[in-house]
Amino acid sequence: MQYRQLGNSGLFVSQLGLGTNAFGKRADEQASIEIIDEAIHSGITFLDTANIYANTESERIIGKALQDKRHEVVLATKAGLPTAGAGGAGASTRGSSRRHLMQELEHSLKRLQTDYIDLYQIHTFDPYTPLEETLRTLEAMVQSGKVRYIGASNYWAWELMKALGISERLGISRYISIQQSYSLADRTLEREIVPLCLDQGVGIIPYFPLAGGILTGKYISKDELPSQSRAVRDPNFQKFLSPAKLQLGQQVSELAAACGCTPAVLSLAWTMKQPAVSTVIVGATSADQLRSNREAVQFEPSEDIMLELDRISAKFIHGEPFASYRLTQG
């Protein structure tokens, strides 16, 4: 495993990170614990979760799995998206106000069975709370020792830059990372976020690096959906299966066959090599799936393959992001 600095901070993370959105849903408790054990055994140190994943089950399972391994991982969680499904209701169960963040941090610490979070991330920009309130709250968490570093997620470029400017003006902790959708099928952040992060020393943490499975090549058409796939389990996902994305998936598969690797490995390797990327989050529902994707760390695509991947995915620099989670009034 290789390790990189998260932005310009002193925090080092594994080049491949483990996403845990499936824990407690598509992966039961036992399978999830096996995945975590496999990740740690293979040198993966970055574990990413959120207070709302699987209705809080993801954090609970991780806490159980890390009882004697907490010191071996960089543990990241998030707050800010609605927690109504996790037992709350109303405006007080969302956003990045002081009240909500302090409440959710304590809940996460309890579920994760830990005294501190290595990277506490704001899950999305909150247009209803002043950024200064959010950032001063995060600074208080850092000063208390309950949070080591802070990061953003699903911020637009101007929102991230405004936050960094406020932190600099106040002389308080600044975001060291931003978690965004980024893959061959979604290169929209290259327009503004990537240049901003390179200039400001912010590390990028891509999520959906396989575009929900489209870049594994398993989707041929909307009429031929693999059984047990995300598109079958969640019919809403079918909206992402556009002709252009399906074509990209097949093109990546052809290139991967020529390289002697899986389409997933080739797609992940491309993402890992993009500027400002610190760690790439990959989910797993089994230890075998994690082992397969881990091959991307050692795989070295040729310059010609990288250029071809750039060419066939260039159209996805423009348009809408593959995924973006935002707060709405209510």
Catalytically active residues are 53
Residue 145 tokens read as: 């020792």
H/E segment holding residue 46: strand 46-48
Which residues, in sequence order, are CB contacts of 16 under 8 Å at separation 6+? Answer: 1, 44, 46, 268, 272, 279, 280, 282, 293, 294, 296, 297
Task: Using alpha carbons, select from 321, 88, 290 the residue that is nearest to residue 186.
Answer: 321
89 contacts 45 by C-beta, under 8 angstroms: no
- The 10 Å CB-count burial string (b at 16+, else e) for 103-126 is bbbebbbebbebebbbbbbbbbbb
In whole angstroms, give the CA distance from residue 240 to residue 7: 30
Residue 114, token pair as written in the block: 């830990």
Q: Are 204 and 180 in contact (CB under 8 A)?
A: yes
Q: Detail the DSSP E strand segments found in 102-247.
A: 117-122, 147-153, 175-181, 203-207
Contacts of 280 (CB under 8 A, 6+ apart): 15, 16, 17, 205, 206, 209, 268, 271, 272
